[in-house]
Structure 1
Amino acid sequence: MGDRLADAADYLACLITLVGTAAKALSDRGRRSDPALRYVYAAGLCLGLGLALTPPATFTAVSGLASGPWSWLGFGYLRLVGDELELVAVGFLAMVAYSIQPPDGVRGGVRAGLRRQVAITAGAFVLSAVAYAASGATQVGTLVVAHGRRRYVLVAYIGLLTVHLVWRLAVFGLLTGRSARRMPPGALRSGLRLMASGTVIGLFWIAGNINDVVDLLTTGGEVGAETAVSAVPALVCVVLMLAGATAPAWGGRLARWSRPLRARYAYRRLEPLWSALRATVPGVELLPDTVRVGRRTPHGAQFALYRRIIEIRDGQLALRPYVHPQVPSWVEEFDRSTGGARFRRRREVAATVEAAGIAAALEAAEAGHRYPAGPSTGYVPSEGQVGVDEEVAWLVKVADAFTTSPAVAEVRRRVREELDRVPG
């Protein structure tokens, strides 16, 4: 049962990889000169071929050839060939990650980084081949056996292979994750995140080599073919990688289909902030109220969401004279006292400051108290929002901070105490 599951997972992963790589190459017509794309195609081809050689059924099919009249063709090195193809594939993945970095994002420049990757992969390729040949390993069915002290050489081979695969996958995951953080929301960023997630699953795939080492040290042989424990993570890793690589092709369609749902979700997330502003500044609500989120119109939810954004911004403008000038320093002081500043990103802090400014202004507006320091001193607008989607994402962060942040609650409390001391 385990071998059947491994066969199914590996052959399916092989088919997905090869067909997906071919489909991406066809869809990239006109852009194939891009080095990153060439590395993607090479990685997909090597990985697909490597996956075709690792299932138990493949080992069983060629076991007779390995000891028969066709042994001179080298069928006994099936494990080595499959491993080397996967080694080269992850080397190409690391080159993909380096090629999409900015010139100043790689030590010595992108070209120097790519040359290092080629040298590292070539060195690991040669050393692993030498180690495998020196081990005198032989194939018996799905097993790879090394006799006597030579099994330690085979253990060294597996160790070298494992270190290289983990290192290359870690490089790929870290660099693609860094690239995703620099990009605006969209299919490309989602694709990079999927590929970075695939590297995490890939580490579970490689972890199967630990069992091989244990088997070699105890019995002198290890299962050269893929096992079900490692074949399933391999399939998941391949699916995530391919989905990420092709995200620009299918991401746009998915985004269009999901846009109404995301608009309804954001609309509800903005509800507490909008309600608080409307209660204090009723004039912000645009009339007549002709659009409802629940209407079955193609763009009804999006139109209602955009209107809500306009109303929130109008409310903020109306409240500018009431914003306490000490709001940013109060938030910073609260973060320092609780240790939260070490764990929050700059934009998260900025969203909290903006939410705290709104909360403080609402308190002051209800008390009818303006601050002579001027409205701009304590007001932090959204930073660098260049599109409606970015504006929605920013205001959702502000609305979340408005309702859940302890820093906002602390600012609200301090404003109330100060207003209570103001002579009536």
Structure 2
Amino acid sequence: MFSATIQYFLIAFGTLVSLYRLRDLLRSPRQPAKWALWCGILSLTLAMTCGPNITSFLPPDANFAIQHIFILGSFLAVEVFFWLSISERGHDWRSGRWHISVLVALTIAMLLAFAVSVVLEKPDFLHLDYQHQPWALATVLLYNGGLAVAMVAIALLARRWSRIADKPWLRRGLSTLTIACWFTMVYAAHHATFVVLPALEIQPPYSTDIEIVPIALGVILGLAGVTMPAWGPRLSALRQWTRYRRSARRLEPLWAAFCAAYPDIRLPVTPPSWDAEFLLHRRVIEIWDGRSRIRHLLDPDVARRAFETGDRHGLRGDELAASVEAALWHDALQRRHHQDTASHTGHALAAPATGNNLAAAVTFLEHVAHHFAQHPTPAVDSRARVRRHDAMVEDGGHV
């Protein structure tokens, strides 16, 4: 029951991956290397559908032959993918032809041994007697040999190209494919052991059921590895979007406080919900615009006291500067709220240096927002005032 569940899961996973890759290929079909890779994924998925759990309507010998042809064919297609990719980049791929030639030769030899076994031995391929059916034994050993040759070749190729790949997700995908190949090699060694030992009248020391583990790991990691360059960048984009949204949320109390005091600093175009980077840029621009509006209200005495307090608490560098800015901004916004407009232009405080990129500015403002939130809450909730301003603008009113 457990092995059947794993088989159905692998089939579903392989089908999804095949359809995902086919969609990309149909958009740009003139890519022979990627077509070879897709054929390998499809062939491996079809191989997993062969077995007594699904294709019970086929004779066991037909199931055996079809499944093993599909498996070796899938690995042959992956090797062709590598060599086509190499030739497309101007590299000489002839040095690797022997890998493909050996795999093809072993596949042909396996089919010949299978045909002889069916004619002469008429074995039950669900319960092979390796001790008395030498052609069936040869069939399985040739299959294991082809599997081992393919896995070594693909692992070496994937490992070699992962070291020089210039794209992070391509490098990760090739490394994952390498690991998948070694899990499959574990299965090949296990399978060969359970073929040779019974033929020598030796009882294997462990159950054959454990082979489902390296098979499942090899298939899942292999399919994930060959498709990782396609879906990996989308995952990175989603992670970056999440980071932008989280940073915008952290800056929101600070931004809302400035917008409540100076509603006109809000830019007219509302960022779309999907464009988190644009939203974060807006937050940063509007906060610094708000800071320029309160520049004449920044009190040097507040800055000095905030510096001394932060220094006593062990704050240094940007963290100390952020603490001072938070105290200055909070004091200035409070005075703005209470209509205290006494100017300190004679002692204007310059804006702190935060770098010339979005990441540096956001990091500094997040520190400021953290310290800003530790000050007493203003008498009027700034976010409520922003919401009232938005409602008035939507109704055509004036602020």
Q: TM-score, normalised by structure 2?
A: 0.55
CA RMSD after TM alignment: 3.9
Residue of 52, 57, 69 corresponding to 2:53: 57
Question: Equivalent residues in 2 for 1:15-414 (5 A)?
Answer: 15-54=12-51, 56-58=52-54, 61-62=56-57, 66=59, 75-101=60-86, 109-110=92-93, 112-113=94-95, 115-135=97-117, 136-140=120-124, 142-145=126-129, 148=132, 151-209=133-191, 210-218=193-201, 228-259=209-240, 288-289=321-322, 302-303=359-360
User: Contact 2:76–2:150 (CA<8 Å) still a contact in 1?
Assistant: yes
Deviations 1:81-127, CA, capped at 9 Å, x for gaps: 21121111111122222233368996xx22x3565454333322211
Structure with max Cα Rg: 2
For 1:57, the aligned partner's letter is N
Distance in 1 (alpha carbons) for counterparts of 2:27 and 2:165: 23
Identity score, percent = 18
Structure 1 gaps of 5+ residues are 67-74, 221-225, 264-282, 293-299, 308-424
Name the CA shift for 1:42/1:171 in 2 (closer, same or farther; >3 Å).
same
Compared CA separation, residues 219 and 284, structure 1 to 2 (3 A): closer
Equivalent residues of 2:131, 2:201 under 8 A apart: no
Contact 2:173 2:225 in 1 (8 A): yes
From the superposition, tell whether residues 14 and 214 of structure 1 become closer, same or farther in structure 2 (CA, over 3 Å).
Answer: farther
C-alpha distance after superposition, 1:233-265 (max 9, x if no partner): 2222222122222223321232234459999xx
Deviations 1:309-332 (A, max 9, x none): xxxxxxxxxxxxxxxxxxxxxxxx
Partner SS, residue 224 of structure 2: helix
Q: Displacement, 1:7?
A: 1.7
Give 1:178's aligned amino acid.
R
What residue in structure 1 maps to residue 339 of structure 2?
A: none
In structure 2, relative to structure 1, the CA distance for the partners of 1:5 and 1:306 (3 Å cut) is same
- Cα distance per residue 1:156-182 (max 9 Å; x no partner): 322222122111111111111211111
Find the residue that maps to 1:143 and give its secondary structure: coil
Residues 302/230 of structure 1: CA separation in 2 closer, same or farther (3 Å cut): farther
Displacement of 1:26 in angstroms is 0.6
Q: CA deviation at 1:16?
A: 1.5
Return closer, same or farther for 1:258/1:301 CA change in 2, 3 Å cut-off: farther
Distance 1:24 1:147, change over 3 A: same
User: Which amino acid letter does the alignment assign opposite residue 85 of structure 1?
Assistant: F
Deviation at 1:227, TM superposition (A): 5.6
The separation in 2 between residues aligned to 1:257 and 1:242, in whole angstroms, is: 21
C-alpha displacement at 1:41, in angstroms? 1.2
C-alpha distance in 2, partners of 1:250/1:103? 22
The CA deviation at 1:37 is 0.7
Check conservation: 1:137, 1:146, Cα contact below 8 A: no
Distance of 1:19 and 1:227 partners within structure 2? 29
Report if aligned partners of 2:107, 2:146 keep a CA contact under 8 Å in 1. no
Paired residue type of 2:195? D
Cα contact 2:107–2:142 (8 A) shared by 1: no
Q: Is the 8 A contact 1:91 1:117 kept in 2?
A: no
**C-alpha displacement at 1:284, in angstroms?**
8.8
CA drift of 1:43 comes to 0.8
Residues in 1 aligned to 2:36 and 2:78: alpha-carbon distance in whole angstroms: 7
The CA distance in 1 between the partners of 2:241 and 2:19, in whole Å, is 33
SS of 2:53's equivalent?
helix
Judge conservation of contact 1:25–1:32 (CA < 8 Å) in 2.
no
Q: CA deviation at 1:21?
A: 1.2
CA contact (8 A) 2:173 2:229 kept: yes
Whole-Å separation in 1 of the counterparts to 2:232 and 2:176: 12
Q: Which amino acid aligns with 1:79?
A: F
Q: Helix, strand or coil for the counterpart of 2:201?
A: helix
TM-score by length of 1: 0.52
Residues 118-154 of structure 1, C-alpha deviations (whole Å, 9 max, x = no match): 4333322211111122234545473134673xx2333
Distance in 1, matches of 2:233 and 2:167, equals 12
Shift of 1:228: 3.5
Counterparts of 2:97 and 2:125, CA distance in 1 = 39
Q: 1:347 matched to which residue of 2?
A: none
- Indicate conservation of the 8 Å contact 2:151/2:184, yes or no: yes
Task: Identify if the C-alpha distance between structure 1 residues 245 and 104 changes in structure 2 by more than 3 Å, giving closer, same or farther.
Answer: closer
Residue-pair matches, total: 258
